[in-house]
Copies of this chain bind each other. A is one copy, B any other.
Amino acid sequence: MSRYTRILLAVDLTDECEHVAERAVQLAQECNCELHVIHVLEPMSIAYGGDVPTDLAAIQGCVQEQAASQLQEFAHSIGVPSERQHLACGRTESEIRRVACEADADVIVVGSHGRHGLSLLLGSTANGVLNGARCDVLAVRVGSPAR
């Protein structure tokens, strides 16, 4: 079996993703492979409901700009060059899977709270990515133990 050649690290750019990133960086070093990083912005109409002011496009543009800047800063801090940084907009799980396919990643690294029930962002994202992923998925435990 060949080693992993391309890792896609999915981050939400919160403090917790640093732990997940460390694991991805470590795996990339051990496998001597390419590390890509993705951050997904959910469309604002979904994120904030339908009652939004009419300057939605301007706000979305501003949010995207901020996210791009944060992603760039984060990616550089873990040594990922700009051509391997992916900022996507859409449904988190499907965008992660889409970019994983495009980048020909053989493993997706994503954080998981590992809790039942509550749809916490990372936990549900890990589950969502797992369902339908064409490649392996490493769910890295974040937060306190589940039980």
Contacts and interface: CB of A to CB of B under 8 A. Distances in A.
Contact of A114 (B23, B133, B138): B133
A116 B131 contact: yes
A137 B110 CA distance: 10
Interface string A108-147: 0000101110000001001100111111111111000111
Interface string A16-46: 0001001100100011000000000000000
Interface size range of chain A in the complex: 20 to 34
Interface in A81-101: none
A126 B136 contact: no
A136 B108 CA distance: 13
A52 interface: no
Contact of A112 (B23, B116, B130, B145): B130
Nearest to A114: B133
A1 interface: yes
A18 to B, nearest CB: 10
A141 B134 contact: yes
A116 B132 contact: yes
Nearest to A116: B131
Interface of A: 1, 3, 19, 22-23, 26, 30-31, 107, 112, 114-116, 123, 126-127, 130-141, 145-147
